[in-house]
Amino acid sequence: MRSESGLEETITIMVRTALADAETSDAPLTLPARVGSVKLGEKLGEGASGVVMAGFDEALNRPVAVKFLHNTDRDSVARHEIVEGLRSAARVRHPNIVTIHSVDAAGDLPFVVMERVGGGSLRDVLRKAAPLDTPLTLHIMIPIADAVAALHDSAVIHRDLKPANILFDRDARPYVCDFGLACTLAAMSWGGSAANIGGSPLYMAPEMFEGRLSPQSDVYALGAVLFEMLVGEPAFKADTLSDMKARHATAPLPLEKLAECGVGAGMIEVVERAMNKRHILRYKNAGRLGRALAEQVTNADDARLRSRLNDIIVGAPRSDAAAPAESSPAMTTFDLLRARAAEKRRRANK
């Protein structure tokens, strides 16, 4: 939409930006006031790859969320890969995947218009009620694993599975969201490349720090989320990206913490296999992990579990589309973005 002066209407917000000198800074980001039939509203949240805005589709009379991927590479090849990853994810239909309505770009800024889920995120739930017991954990994660399995069946890797990217609606149904880093297997090579590095370090498989990934990389992330749900803290913590990378690669998984929280041997075995250092020894895909989780269910009372979860969600802060990025350097992808930029500079200087 253009104003009376003939200029396109815009809005300006402050966002975190990755800098080349290993720092982050708040910087203004100018966005169009509307994209297509969607009028933008307030800022909902911000992650490493972009910012999420509330929106209202005036043509279809429904609320939506719009994510602008401002922290991604702006060159044409990278932009094409981002958009193709989003479009591949959008083609996957599953009751536990946030629906992607459209994928486009405003100039050189890719954006995705998606279903707006009205409940909180798993990050919100864990802040309020962690650790969760095994029945409630299974109630949440079995449908999530099934949703990721649908992505894997379509040769799509999510690449950024974490508590902030698991949302709940008002009926406490869980959803996988945020496909800003999604990619297809056809676009990836196992050989490894700095351009392939992406994700949230707390949940990244060892090979992802080297730019290699596969469906087993998502399995590792799901295992890391399971661990955090059952214990109340991440499996590995560090203050720097290099230390976090080393812990994922070499530190023993602290299985004793699971036992101390009363987690049964069968469930511990599932988490241990999902988070194996060697990708080939993990579950082959999220579908296999989901079936292993289903085998741990005993006397499930879905109605009671849904009621328990809803009580937690109602008391948790709302997170309509995305939670803010964590503040520790080892917990965000800004370090990875800076590493990618540094790699490009090294290549340019050769």
Q: What is the DSSP string of 53-106?
A: EEEEETTTTEEEEEEE-TTS--SHHHHHHHHHHHHHHHT---TTBPPEEEEEEE
- Catalytic pick among 57, 124, 146, 160: 160
b/e map 253-292, b = 16+ CB within 10 Å: bebebbeeeebeeebbebbebbbbbebeebbebbbbbbeb
160 is catalytic: yes
Asked if residues 102 and 91 have their Cβ atoms less than 8 Å apart, the reply is: no
How far is CA 110 from its chain centroid? 17
As to burial, measured by CB atoms within 10 angstroms (0-12 exposed, 13-18 middle, 19+ buried), residue 42 is exposed
Integer Cα distance of 233 and 218 in angstroms? 19
Enzyme catalytic residues = 160
